[in-house]
Structure formats: C-alpha cells, structure tokens
Amino acid sequence: MVVFASRHEAKAGLPWLGGHFTGMLQEGQCDLSAACACGLRSFLHNISLPGFAVSAEATHHGPVDLNTPCFFAEIGSTMKEWQDRQAAETVARAILALECRDLPVFLGFGGGHYVARQTELIFEANVAFGHLFSNYQMAGVNRDVVEEAISKSNASYAYLDRKSLRSAERKRIEGILADVGLPVLRSREIRAKFPLGGVDHDIDLR
C-alpha cells in the first residue's frame, strides 16, 4: 500500500486525526485511485489522542492515477496541531503498525465531509470502507462512478446514510446500486452480520 502522511487544513480549526482516499468527481467525470480500505480502517483504529477527533473523510483531491491501494493519513487542522510532536508520533506509530485484514468492504454514500456514520461503522463493526461519497458529491455520482468505485475499492456492499440524503437522491443511488448488483445494508444489519470480534484473516500485500 501507499500511505501519504499529510497535513489537514479546515476552517473550523479543530484538532483532528484521520484519513481518506483520493479521487475527483467533476461534471460527470470520475477519476479514482485504488483505495486501501483495510489500511484506512487499521489506521483509524490505531490513532487515539486526547483532545483530537478521529474520523474518515469523503474521497477527495489527487493523486487519481495510483493502481497501488493508497490513502492519506492526516493531522489537522492548524499550525498548532501540525507542530504537535505527540500528534505526529501518534500518526507515525499508527502507520508503522498498519495491519490489513480480509474484511468485507463497503462503498459509502451520504453524510457530511467527515462521514460520521460511516466512521462509526468502521469502529463498531468488522468491516472496512472503500471510496466514500458525501452529500455534496451526490450530484456527480452516476453508474460509471459507482462501477469505478467498486473496482477501485474491491467492494462487495454499499451503505447509505439515509438520514442525510434527500428521498429522491437516495432512491436514485439505490437504483444504480440495484442495477450493478451491489447489495445495500443498513447500519443495524451491518453490525449484526459483521460483529466486532468476528473471524477475519490477514492479507498478504506483497
């Protein structure tokens, strides 16, 4: 896998640790890099620091042409946090401790940029998430985008943050997922079907 250790900048300026996959959705055009779903999950489980929020983010920015599974591992959100040696060491150790498990991979649709409900499922179920698309990206999500995301994430399921999506948008996305044959599970179904402590297996990335 490729891990980009990076700064994260946000207007709110909150202390934050997290990560995301890379890709661009522009006017119906979609370019996505291969998403290391197991890597991002492991990273999020490895980082914990008092005073810092932890979450995944929606897929955004480049590079968009990596075929090696990758993700960004970030410290946010201001110069104070970027210069925090404890935060830097926490992220560095989390990267060095990465483990990949053979877990079911979901695509995620809906929610804010920090995909709160998808992040909860990463911590509360034995699953990983590949490419994540937030509410503000929904207009650009079509069948081509979904098929590309499935391929680049090696995804077997999808999750929709139903509370955040307008009814018409949710139905449109559900129709696309049905057309491509990607099963959609609700959060309670994910927790029941893939409980923490379930059997998983190491993946050899060599």
pLDDT at residue 199, rounded to an integer: 47
Percent of the chain with pLDDT over 70: 95
Amino acid making up residue 148 = E
Tokens for 50, please give them: 């008092």
Please, which pLDDT band fits residue 198 given cuts at 50, 70 and 90? low
Q: For residues 174 and 94, what is the distance between their CA atoms, to the nearest angstrom?
A: 35
Q: For residues 8 and 30, what is the distance between their CA atoms, to the nearest angstrom?
A: 23
pLDDT at residue 205, rounded to an integer: 31
User: Domains of the chain by range and CATH?
Assistant: 2-193 (3.40.50.10700)
Q: For residues 87 and 102, what is the distance between their CA atoms, to the nearest angstrom?
A: 29
Closest CA to 122 of 95, 153, 159: 159
Residue pLDDT, tens place only, 14-62:
999 999 999 998 766 789 999 999 999 999 999 999 999 999 999 999 8
What dihedral do alpha carbons 132, 95, 13, 53 form, nearest 10°? 80
Share the mean pLDDT of the chain.
92
Q: Are 105 and 154 in contact (CB under 8 A)?
A: yes
Total Cβ atoms within 10 A of residue 157: 20
Percent of the chain with pLDDT over 90: 86
Residue pLDDT, tens place only, 96-111:
999 998 999 999 999 9
Q: Phi and psi at residue 117, in whole multiples of 5°?
A: -70, -35
Amino acid making up residue 112 = G
Stretch 144-171: mean pLDDT: 96
